[in-house]
Amino acid sequence: MNNSATAAIVLATVLTTLLLTACGTTTSMGDATGSRSLAPPPGPTVFGEPVPVTAHADHTFLLEIGAPQQRTNKRIAYDMWRKLINAGQVEAADQYLAEDYIQHNPSFPTGREAVKQIFSSFVPRQDVAPDTVQDPVVTIIAEGDYVVMAFVTEYDEPDGSGTYTSTHFDMYRFDNGMIVEHWDSGQIQRGQETPEFGNGGPVPVIGTQGLAQLDMLYNDDPRLFMNKRLVFDLWRHIPESGAEELADIYMDPIYIQHNPNAATGRDGAKAYFAMRPDTPIETTLEDPLVALVAEGDLVVQVLQEERPHPNKPGEIYYVAWFDMFRIEGGRVIEHWDTASKGELPAAMQQ
C-alpha cells in the first residue's frame, strides 16, 4: 500500500474517532440507563496480565433496558434458559423455539425436537424453574432480531495448577416472538461423535463477505452505528492487517483484556497483535461476518472461522468466533472473547 493510501486510511480513522467523541459514546445507552455500563465491573486489573471474567450481579437491569421489542426478546431468551437449560423442562422448547429451529453449534443436531431430546437426557428435571438464570451471566444485549448472552466459563490450567476464566457466548435470532436460530462458541472436542449436516446435523456457520458487510453496521441510533463502525475498523486494521500501531487511535491506554492469552493495557494489545504479519488494509473484513450486535456501550462481533476437525484428519469445519468490546470515550476500553489458553483467532494464526 502506498503512503498516500495509508494516510487516507489513518485520516478517515481519526475522523471516525472524533465523531464518536462528539456523539458522546460514554452515555450511549440513552436515557434508559444513563452512563451505567451493560458490562459488570472488572476484577482486579494488573497491567501485563489478563483480567478474570466476572459475572453481572443485576439481571433485572440487563433485561429491563432497551426498546420494547428488544426487551421482549431478551426476556424470552432468559426464560428459555431458566426453564429448559437450567430446569430441564423440555416442554418449554415448544413455547420458545420454532419447530424448524436452526442449530449452528457443531456438536448438536438441528431442530426443536432434537433440543428436547438432548436436554431430557442430561438435565435433571425440576418442576419449579429457578427465578434467575443459574449460570454466571456476564451480560445480555439485543439489537434488531438478535439477542446475545455472555457467560463466565472456566477451563483447567494446562499445567494442572487450577482454573482460569474465559467467556462463552450464545446468540439467538428471533422471528415472530420465537427463537428460530442459534449460534454459540462451542467447538468439536477430540473423540466426540457429531451428527452430519444434511442428516439432522447442525447447519454450518456461514457469514457475509465483501461490501455487504457494511449493511451490518447500520443502526438508526448514531451512537450505536459509530460504536459498530469503531469495532469494524479496529478489527480490519489491527488483527487482520497487523497494524498494531493504530491501537493508539482505537484503544484506551487501560484496555482491560479478558482473553487469557493476552495482556491488559494498550501496550499489551500491541505486543499481542504484533504476532500478525503486516498485510494490506482491506475495505471489509477478511473473515466472513455473521453478525454485529450493539446495545449501550457494548458491541459483539461474530465471525465465521474454520477449524481443523479433531476427529477427521485433513477436514475442516466452521465455528462462530465471538468478540465483545466495551466503548468509552470513543475508544475500546475492554474486550472479551471466546478463547481458551493457546487458542488464537484465524487472523492471528497466519
What per-residue confidence (pLDDT) applies to 345? 58
Strands 251-257 and 178-184: unpaired
Distance CA 76, CA 307 (A): 32
Confidence label for 52 from pLDDT (cuts 50, 70 and 90)? very high
Distance CA 128, CA 122 (A): 17
**Cα 99-195-301 angle, rounded to 5 deg:** 70
**Cα 124-153-310 angle, rounded to 5 deg:** 90
Q: Exposed/middle/buried for 87, CB within 10 Å: 0-12, 13-18, 19+?
A: buried
Tell me the Ramachandran region of residue 28: left when phi exceeds 0, alpha when psi lies from -120 to 50, beta otherwise. alpha
Q: What's the chain's length in residues?
A: 350
What per-residue confidence (pLDDT) applies to 119? 94
Task: Give the three-state DSSP class for 247.
Answer: helix
Specify whether the CB–CB gap between 138 and 55 falls below 8 A.
yes
Beta carbons within 8 Å of 154's beta carbon, 6+ residues apart: 163, 164, 165, 166
What per-residue confidence (pLDDT) applies to 200? 83
What per-residue confidence (pLDDT) applies to 339? 94
Residue-range domains of the chain with CATH: 3-348 (3.10.450.50)
Cα–Cα separations (whole angstroms), residue 326 to 25, 122, 131, 350 = 10, 35, 28, 27
- Residue carrying the nine cell digits 436452526: 102
Handedness of CA 294, 273, 165, 171 (dihedral sign): positive
Confidence label for 14 from pLDDT (cuts 50, 70 and 90)? very low
**What value does the mean pLDDT take over residues 41-60?**
94
What per-residue confidence (pLDDT) applies to 190? 87
What per-residue confidence (pLDDT) applies to 167? 98
What per-residue confidence (pLDDT) applies to 152? 98
For residue 25, pLDDT beyond 60: no
Nearest to 287 by CA among 306, 315, 310: 306
Bigger pLDDT: 199 vs 248? 248
Q: Exposed/middle/buried for 50, CB within 10 Å: 0-12, 13-18, 19+?
A: buried
Confidence label for 193 from pLDDT (cuts 50, 70 and 90)? confident
Mean pLDDT of the chain: 89
**pLDDT, tens digit (0-9, with 9 covering 90-100), for 252-311:** 999 999 999 999 999 999 999 998 889 999 999 999 999 999 999 999 999 999 999 888
What per-residue confidence (pLDDT) applies to 276? 86
What per-residue confidence (pLDDT) applies to 155? 95
Bigger pLDDT: 272 vs 33? 272
What per-residue confidence (pLDDT) applies to 330? 96
What per-residue confidence (pLDDT) applies to 344? 64
What per-residue confidence (pLDDT) applies to 346? 54
What per-residue confidence (pLDDT) applies to 188? 83
**pLDDT, tens digit (0-9, with 9 covering 90-100), for 104-156:** 999 999 999 999 999 999 899 999 999 999 999 999 999 999 999 999 999 99
Beta carbons within 8 Å of 136's beta carbon, 6+ residues apart: 55, 151, 152
